[in-house]
Amino acid sequence: MKIKHVLTIAAAAVAALSLAACGNKSNAGSSNKTVKIGILQLINQSGLDDARKGFVAELAKEGYKDGKNMKLDYVNAQGDQANLSTMSQQLQKDKNDLNLAIATPAAQALQKADPKTPMLFTAVSAPVDAGIVSSMTHPDKNTSGVTDMVSVKGQIGLLHRIAPKAKTIGLIYNAAEPNSVIQIKAAKKAIKALGLKSAEKTVASTNDVQQTMTALTGQAQAIYIPADNTLAAAMATVGKIAGQKKVPVVPAASTMVQDGGLATNGFNYRDLGKQAAKQAVKILKGKKTSAIPVEKPAKVSVMVNKAMAKKLGIDPSSIK
């Protein structure tokens, strides 16, 4: 009887230790498997960089840490379409558990190369029009994510309130970026609805921005810029010319305000990346991508570049 009693106690102890071990497992999953995540970024640009950093930081907060239980493969195409294609094909061969595409061209290239691996996107303005998803609420492909689209009508309205005497609104963008073309179309509609005229100019690269921006300030009394990657990379130049010519600029993205614009209805791109990371965790835990609706920025507010406002002789507190 004593032997049986000892065996019973031992068995109970083993069971207790097993349960304790199960209870102490990380929230990052039910096994010790290392998850593989690929990130394809279009170009080095502050908004896109911030979105990536937010994504990685939130994953770490959720228990997925690079070099421990997660292998992160980050590649940057530096704005080159050929690089996007090559890098997308490589990520497909890597057989990742999940891929993240940052910016519209990156999402399009990655989805074309790999239509099966779960993919999330961020910093994409018009995912339906770009053919990345068929529906915002019920994605029917391998893709979902977080759009950076904020009401263009609202941004044009903000610009009109800042410069109520402006009769012509300037528009500058890269026509090769589908997301920019979509936003410009919406901007022209909003400008027309206000009874104003628009002056439109395009650039092919950052090298064109100084000359084109200078010409545009001679035709327009206020300027709107979409969430365009080319212009985002050249906002210091935009801001310099806008300050010299005393022309207010409302860009679509908050980072573009920080880098040279005046104001916008915007959000923090790190927060956008964090939203995408929360979606990633759901997928890594077994949820299908098609069951995850595309999200919009959770927090949108008026953001003002106070230094630029002072250059233009505008009271920052008056911009609402």
Q: pLDDT tens digit string along 222-248?
A: 999 999 989 999 999 999 999 999 999
Instruction: Specify the pLDDT at position 94.
Output: 95
306 and 261, same structural domain?
Answer: yes
| pLDDT tens per residue, range 177-211 | 988 999 999 999 999 999 999 999 999 999 999 99
How far apart CA 318 and CA 165 sit, in angstroms, is: 16
Q: Are 115 and 142 a contacting pair, CB within 8 Å?
A: yes
Query: How much is the mean pLDDT over the chain?
Result: 90
Task: Say if residue 60's pLDDT is above 70.
Answer: yes
Instruction: Specify the pLDDT at position 21.
Output: 40
| pLDDT tens per residue, range 72-106 | 999 999 999 999 999 999 999 999 999 999 999 99
Confidence of residue 140 (pLDDT cuts 50, 70, 90): confident
Confidence of residue 5 (pLDDT cuts 50, 70, 90): very low
Confidence of residue 28 (pLDDT cuts 50, 70, 90): low
5 within some domain? no
Bridge partner residues of 222 (DSSP):
169
158 and 66, same structural domain?
Answer: no
Task: Say if residue 45's pLDDT is above 80.
Answer: yes
How far apart CA 94 and CA 223 sit, in angstroms, is: 44
Q: Which domain holds residue 244?
A: 152-266+302-318
How far apart CA 172 and CA 212 sit, in angstroms, is: 8
How far apart CA 72 and CA 317 sit, in angstroms, is: 43
Instruction: Specify the pLDDT at position 1.
Output: 42
89 and 196, same structural domain?
Answer: no
141 and 168, same structural domain?
Answer: no
Q: Are 292 and 139 a contacting pair, CB within 8 Å?
A: yes
Backbone angles phi, psi at 120, to 5 degrees: -115, 155
9 within some domain? no
Instruction: Specify the pLDDT at position 132.
Output: 95
Instruction: Specify the pLDDT at position 179.
Output: 87
CATH code, domain carrying 180: 3.40.50.2300
Q: What is the DSSP string of 245-295?
A: HT--EEESSHHHHHTT--EEEE--HHHHHHHHHHHHHHHHTT--GGGS--B
pTM: 0.77
Give every CB contact of residue 79 below 8 A, 6+ residues apart in sequence. Answer: 42, 43, 229
Instruction: Specify the pLDDT at position 33.
Output: 86
Q: Range with the lowest mean pLDDT among 7-11, 136-140, 189-193?
A: 7-11
Domain count, the chain: 2
313 and 214, same structural domain?
Answer: yes
164 and 138, same structural domain?
Answer: no
- CA-nearest of 70, 103, 73, 66 to 90 is 73
Which tokens in the block code for residue 73? 């493969």
What is the torsion angle, in degrees rounded to the nearest 10, for the CA atoms of residue 213, residue 216, residue 222 and residue 227?
-50
